[in-house]
Amino acid sequence: MRFKIPFVLLILLSLLAACGSNGSDDNNGDQVVLDIFNIKVETTEQLDNLIDIYESENENIKINVTTVGGGQDAASALQAKFSSNEEPSIFLLGGLSDVEKYQDYLLDVSDMESAIQAIDGTLNGVSIDDTPYGIPLNIEGYGWMINKDIFERAGVEPDSIDSYETFVEAVEVIDSQKEELGIDAVFGFSGMEDWVVSQFSSHFTSPEFDHDEAVGYESDELNFEYGDRMKEYTDLVNQYNIQPILSLDYSTSVEELFTNERVAMVHQGNWIVPSLNSMDESFAEEKLSILPLFVESDEEGKIIAGPSWYWGINGEKDEEEVEEAKKFLDWMYTSETGKELITEDFQYIPAHEGYDTDMITDPTSAEIYEMVLDEQVGMWANNQYPDGFFSVALFPEFQKYLDGQKNWEEFEETISQSFTEMR
């Protein structure tokens, strides 16, 4: 009995506390409360900081952020919020499948300042029938992230790589001088990570879908129009990669091999910049660059860049709350303070026009921003694959090919089949 009374009290207390905190959340006079559901764990602190500044400028606004990280968990957590009638006012959308899922709630954002200033094409991934339902969070771009220094020491000028043939030559030249350059291999492709494989495949599926998110989302077949080139690239990587490629994970590939200059390039994107900075301040500034893949033609190379997430606004909330949510997002992306925070604090590549390239902190990100403005980029085709396709179909089959268990024809056949089945 002695143990039980405190225990019961504890339960009662916590119940009371729970009720209490629920009660105090509502009824705040004329204060408007916005609930934001955030998935970008990496920039949680920056978001909190931005919100603090916004709240101090707008006294009548109170913003609560819920951050849930880690891909699938976040998606289910958001779903749980909606099923339990605690819908957030602003939440992140991954792509068209999310838009379709939450379409009943989502607000048409086309009249918002932050939608008008969004770079042409960045709204495609969140539009149904030409109506945009979200504001792009930022731009993320990927391709071959290279160490310029190693290239130059091997006598290869990165700028001179302007076709698939010159790329292969460069790889061979670097490989022949491995010992002098002090590297283990040319590529550090992490064949253990499903998302790396998925992004890699995007270079070859984006042109098949005309670089158009809607086409990719509606397509129920994947025919590997550029499958031959994909095979060439895959074979090249596999031949000159750190082995065993199948157990090379992200952290070994980027944080160990690439940062310590033991490989010349990895297939990654601008998100590796912060982790490069944390190890060696000068790396991103002086040595990092990005190379495109030559897919549609031998001469024209493209990286993949575009918004990876979009802010959606819950239009089912009361009018005041919706208005404030719109104001907040507009402020975040189009006001001077917002712009400064986005580039310097978040270190994002902005998805909006009107940013000075000098504001972007590292040259590679600036390069990607320019390419996006010039529309010289492919789209994140992998975001339009059927749910789970990259992880349970594409990735294991790709690994089987790398391991020599299946030939390329079998790979293409299985993948096309699963694509259609899972759509």
Partner 1 sequence: MTFKNRTYWLFLLPTLLALLIVLILPFFQGVYYSFTAYNGFQVSEFVGFQNYINLLSDSQFLYSLRFTAGFSIASVIGINVIGLAFAILVTQKLGKVSTLFRTIYFMPNLIGGIILGFIWQFIFLKAFTGIADFTGLDFFRGWLSDTQTGFWGLVILFVWQMSGYIMVIYISFLNNVPKELLEAATIDGANKWQSFWRVKFPLIIPAFTVSLFLTLSNAFKVYDQNMALTAGGPFGSTEMTTMNIYDTAFKIQDMGYAQSKAIVFLIIITLISVIQLYITRKKETEL
Task: Give the footprint of partner 1 on this chain (CB under 8 A).
Answer: 72-73, 75-76, 79, 82-83, 101, 192, 243-247, 249, 252, 386-388, 391-392, 395-397, 399-400, 403, 405, 422
Closer residue to partner 1 in complex, CB, 249/345? 249
CB of 185 to partner 1, least distance (A): 14
Closer residue to partner 1 in complex, CB, 177/391? 391
Among residues 349, 344, 324, 318, which one has the least CA distance to residue 54?
324
Three-class secondary structure of residue 155 per DSSP: coil
Q: Decide: 384 and 216 in contact? Cβ < 8 Å.
A: yes
Q: Decide: 54 and 62 in contact? Cβ < 8 Å.
A: no
CB of 26 to partner 1, least distance (A): 27
Distances (CA, A) of 141 to 55, 147, 365, 378: 32, 17, 8, 9
Cα separation of 94 and 383, whole Å?
A: 7
Closer residue to partner 1 in complex, CB, 195/271? 195
Cα separation of 174 and 151, whole Å?
A: 7
* DSSP β-bridge partners for residue 91: 37, 312
Closer residue to partner 1 in complex, CB, 71/354? 71
Identify the helix (H) or strand (E) that includes residue 363. Answer: helix 363-373
Identify the helix (H) or strand (E) that includes residue 25. Answer: helix 4-25
CB of 259 to partner 1, least distance (A): 16
The residues, ordered by sequence, that sit 6+ positions from 418 with a Cβ below 8 Å of its Cβ are 389, 393, 394, 397
Closer residue to partner 1 in complex, CB, 19/246? 246
Q: Name the burial class of residue 82, with classes exposed (0-12), middle (13-18) and buried (19+) by CB atoms within 10 angstroms of its CB.
A: middle
Closer residue to partner 1 in complex, CB, 375/421? 421
Residue 209 has which token pair? 């879908």
β-pairing, 310-313 vs 135-136, is antiparallel
Cα separation of 61 and 290, whole Å?
A: 41
Closer residue to partner 1 in complex, CB, 110/405? 405
CB of 68 to partner 1, least distance (A): 13
Closer residue to partner 1 in complex, CB, 64/247? 247
- The length of the chain in residues reads 423
φ/ψ region of 404 (left if φ > 0, alpha if ψ in -120 to 50, else beta) reads left
